[in-house]
Amino acid sequence: MSNGQALEASLRGRLKRSSARRVLVGDRVKLEFHDDSSVTIEEIYPRTSLLKRRNPGEKRGAREVAANLDQVLTVGAVADPQWDQQLMNRFIVVAEASDLPVTVVINKIDLRSEPEKLASVFRTVGYEVLLTSATENVGIDELRHVLEGKISLFNGPTGVGKSSLLNAVQPGLRLRTAEVSARTRSGRHTTVSAEMLPLDRGGFVVDTPGLRDIGLWGIDPGDVADAFPEIARASVNCRFDNCRHVAEPDCSVLAGCEDGTIDPHRVESYQKFLAEAERASRHWE
Ligand code: GDP
Ligand code: ZN
């Protein structure tokens, strides 16, 4: 509730049967309080955003993950685990595909010098980049500021320091949890444990177990380029409207790689994800 109180509510019959609507973490709902002290969810209010991911592997279709997020923070580490730009790009694409603003966080800067080199690639694209050390308390004030008043979700590979950053932002944050119980489409009753962690300075961090590692995600081939802002920008000048930016003549994305205005590793990631998306969509047909 808006006063921060957690309460248990069940879905009203109509919503329960509706296959189109599933209550997600982050949803705003209309509650009704009954005489027998039970509480029901009467309505799910329209969502300002919807983070989706493709059903992994064999299954077709997307799975809705969280509603009303304001932003995604994609976290990587300069080392331990080894910096992997392509993996970062995957996590960023997940957010971009749902049209969510992304901030890049490069953590563990205490372990390696010159983290700015890693950051500049993303800054050139237009992303805000924070350089942090959760253990040395570097960049944590800036992180607090980015989170303030917003509903945020952290993604990124395991071990890069997402939990540590949360704890640095607000010690003990992860202890305050709320449970959301939802009925799945198949009708089985499962408890999805999702947390909206309230921040002292306003805003929430959404945490759902198993979600922080999403990233390996299928996306419609036609949407892959749009998830790379610099590629989408350059592509308006490609000779062909349907240019795939792989080997086409007069491709302004490939030209950008040549003249150094576009990072070739980002384009490499794009081409790899495009090939994956094309393989996946063939598989579904
Ligand atoms: P998560 O899987 O992304 O949530 O990562 P954790 O927060 O569990 O951190 C993984 C490991 O990295 C832990 O041993 C942390 O102590 C360590 N760690 C986290 N942040 C930093 C950092 O800024 N610098 C260093 N040197 N280690 C860190
Ligand atoms: Zn092109």
Pocket residues for ligand 1 (CB within 6 Å)? 107-108, 110-111, 133-135, 158-164
* pLDDT value of position 21: 67
The residue behind tokens 């003249």 is 259
CA distances from 217 to 60, 91, 95, 205, 277 (A): 12, 9, 11, 22, 9
Average pLDDT over residues 89-109: 95
Task: State which ligand 1 atom lies nearest to the alpha carbon of 154.
Answer: 3
Residue nearest to atom 10 of ligand 1 (CA): 159
Residue 209 has pLDDT above 90, yes or no: no
**Residue (of 210, 129, 140, 135) closest to 170 by Cα position:** 140
Q: pLDDT digits over 139-152, tens only? A: 999 999 999 999 99
Distance of CA 252 to the CA centre of its chain: 28
**46: which DSSP letter?**
P
CA 243 to ligand 2 centroid distance, Å: 5
**211: which DSSP letter?**
T
Q: What would the two tokens of residue 161 be?
A: 């320091």
* pLDDT value of position 262: 98
Residue nearest to atom 7 of ligand 1 (CA): 161
**In the structure, what pLDDT confidence band is assigned to residue 194 with cuts at 50, 70 and 90?**
confident
CA distance 149 to 132: 20
The residue behind tokens 């198993």 is 210
Q: pLDDT digits over 29-52, tens only? A: 999 999 999 999 988 999 999 988
Computed over every residue of the chain, the mean pLDDT equals 86
CA 262 to ligand 2 centroid distance, Å: 12
CA 133 to ligand 1 centroid distance, Å: 9
Which residues lie closer than 8 Å to 58 by C-beta, 6 or more apart? none
Average pLDDT over residues 246-262: 97
* pLDDT value of position 6: 77
Q: What would the two tokens of residue 259 be?
A: 């003249």
Residue 86 has pLDDT above 90, yes or no: yes
Average pLDDT over residues 160-181: 73
Task: State which ligand 1 atom lies nearest to the alpha carbon of 133.
Answer: 23
